[in-house]
A and B are shown apart, each in its own frame.
Chain A
Amino acid sequence: MAREITYRDALREALREEMDRDERVFLMGEDIGAYGGSYVVTRGFLEQYGRKRVRDTPISELAIVGLANGAAMGGLRPVVELMTINFSLLAMDQIVNHAAKIHYMFNRQISVPVVIRTASGWGQLGATHSQTFEAWYAHVPGLRVVMPATPKDAKGFLKSAIRGQDPVMFIEHSLIYRNRGEVPDGEYLLPLEGAEVRREGTDVTIVSWSRGYYLALGAAEELARDGIEAEVIDMRVLRPLDIDTVVRSVQKTNRLVIVEESWRTLGMGAEIAAAVQEHAFDYLDAPIARVGSVEVPMPYAKNLERLVIPGKDEVVAAVHELLRRDVAVAR
Chain B
Amino acid sequence: MAKTVVMPQMGYDMDAGTLLRWLKQEGERVARGEPIAEIETDKVNLEIESFEEGVVRKHLVAEGQTVPVGEPIAIVGEPDEPIDLPAAAGAPRAAPAAAQASAPAAPGPADGVASAPQPEPVSQVAERAPGERVRASPLVRRLAAEHGIDLRTITGTGPGGRIVKEDILPLIGRPAELAAPAAPAPVAAPAAVAAAPAAPTAEAALPGMPPSEVRDLSRMRKTIARRMTESFQAPHFYVTTTVDMGAALAFREQVNEQLEPEQKVSINDLIVKATALALRKFPMLNASFAGEQVRIYQRIDIAIAVAVEGGLISPFIPDTDHKTLGEIARISKDLIERARSGGLRPEEYQGGTFTISNLGMYDVESFIAVINPPQAGILAVGSIRKEPVYREGTFVPVDLMRITISADHRVTDGAEAARFLAEVRRYLETPMLLAVS
Q: Which residues of A contact B3 (CB under 8 A)?
A: 329-331
Which of B153-161, B322-330, B424-432 lies at the binding interface? B153-161
CB < 8 Å neighbour of A330 from B2, B137, B140, B142: B2
CB of A175 within 8 A of chain B? no
Can you list, as one digit per residue, whether each of B61-98 has a CB less than 8 Å from chain A (1) or not (0)? Answer: 00000000000100101000001111100000000000
Instruction: Say if the beta carbon of B4 comes within 8 Å of chain A.
Output: yes
- Contacts of B85 on A, CB cut-off 8 Å? 330
Which of A57-65, A151-159, A279-287 lies at the binding interface?
A279-287
List of B residues within 8 angstroms of A321 by Cβ: 159
CA distance A327 to B126 in the complex (A): 11
> Which residues of chain B have C-beta atoms less than 8 A from A282's C-beta?
138-139, 141-142
Q: Does B197 count as interface, using CB distance less than 8 angstroms?
A: no
Q: Is A326's CB within 8 Å of the partner chain B?
A: yes
Decide yes or no: A325 and B137 within 8 Å by CB, A227-B1, A251-B181, A330-B75 being known contacts. no
**A286 engages B181 (CB within 8 Å):** no
Chain A residues within an 8 Å CB radius of B159 = 286, 321, 324, 326
Q: Which of A254, A327, A328 contacts B139 (CB 8 A)?
A: A254
Tell me the A284-330 residues at the B interface (CB within 8 Å).
284-286, 321, 324-330
Chain B residues with Cβ below 8 Å from A329 are 3-4, 72, 86, 157
Within 8 Å CB of A251, what residues of B? Answer: 179-181
Least Cβ distance of A224 to chain B in Å?
15
Given contacts A282-B142, A284-B137, A331-B1, contact A326 B160 (CB under 8 A): yes
Contact B77 A281 (CB under 8 A): no
Q: Is there an interface contact between A330 and B138, defined as CB atoms closer than 8 Å?
A: no
Q: Which residues of B contact A252 (CB under 8 A)?
A: 179
**B146, closest chain A residue (CB):** A282
B157 touches A327 (CB 8 A): yes
Report how far A330 CA is from B60 CA in the complex, Å.
12
Which of A227, A286, A330 counts the most B-chain CB atoms under 10 A from its CB? A330
List of B residues within 8 angstroms of A283 by Cβ: 138-139, 142, 181
A326 touches B4 (CB 8 A): no
Which residues between 87 and 130 of chain A lie within 8 Å of chain B, taking CB atoms?
none
- Range of interface residues on A (Cβ < 8 Å): 10 to 19
Interface size on B, as a range, is: 20 to 34
From residue 406 to 424 of chain B, which have CB atoms closer than 8 A to chain A? Answer: none
Give A63 Cβ to nearest chain B Cβ, in Å. 51
Q: State in angstroms the CA–CA spacing of A324 and B158 once bound together.
A: 6
Assess whether A254 is in contact with B165, with CB atoms less than 8 Å apart: yes
Chain A residues in 8 Å Cβ range of B72: 329-330
- Among A281, A286, A327, A330, which residue has its beta carbon within 8 angstroms of that of B83? A330
CB distance from A227 to the nearest CB of B (A): 7
Within the complex, what minimum Cβ distance (angstroms) separates B215 from chain A?
38
Q: How far is the CA of A240 from the CA of B75 in the complex (A)?
A: 49
Tell me whether B139 and A285 are in contact (CB under 8 A). Answer: yes
Q: Is the CB of B155 within 8 A of A284?
A: no
B430 to chain A, nearest CB (A): 47
Find the A residue at minimum CB distance from B84.
A330
Is B137 a contact of A285 with CB atoms below 8 Å?
A: yes
Whether A327 and B2, one on each chain, are in contact in the complex, defined by CB atoms closer than 8 angstroms, is: no
Residues of A within 8 A of B77 (CB): 330
Q: From the candidates B2, B138, B157, B179, name the one contacting A325 in the complex (CB within 8 A).
A: B157
By beta carbon, the residue of chain A nearest B142 is A282
CB distance from A182 to the nearest CB of B (A): 30
Question: How many whole Å from B250's CB to the nearest CB in chain A?
Answer: 55
Query: Do B84 and A286 touch (CB < 8 A)?
Result: no
Q: Is B370 an interface residue (CB 8 A)?
A: no
A285 B157 Cβ-Cβ under 8 A = no
CA distance A254 to B180 in the complex (A): 11
Q: Which residues of B contact A286 (CB under 8 A)?
A: 137, 158-159, 164
Q: Is the CB of B161 within 8 A of A285?
A: no
In the bound complex, do residue A328 and residue B158 qualify as a contact, i.e. CB atoms below 8 Å apart? no
Q: Which residue of A lies closest to B82 (CB)?
A: A330
- Give complex CA distance A285, B155 in Å: 15
Chain A neighbourhood of B86, CB < 8 A: 328-330
B1 near A328 (CB under 8 angstroms)?
A: no
Chain B residues 83-125 with CB under 8 Å of chain A are 83-87
Interface 1/0 per residue, A246-279 and B, CB below 8 Å: 0000011010000000000000000000000000
Whole-angstrom CA separation of A327 from B160 in the bound complex: 8
Cβ–Cβ < 8 Å partners of B180 in chain A: 251
Q: A residues within 8 A CB of B139?
A: 254, 282-285
Q: List 11 A-B contacts (CB under 8 A).
A: A227-B1, A252-B179, A254-B139, A281-B138, A282-B138, A326-B160, A327-B157, A328-B86, A330-B83, A330-B84, A330-B85
The 5 closest A-B pairs by CB, nearest first: A282-B142, A327-B157, A285-B137, A285-B139, A285-B165
Given contacts A252-B179, A331-B2, 15 further A-B contacts (CB under 8 A): A254-B165, A283-B138, A284-B137, A284-B138, A285-B165, A286-B137, A286-B164, A324-B158, A325-B166, A326-B158, A326-B159, A326-B162, A327-B155, A331-B3, A331-B84
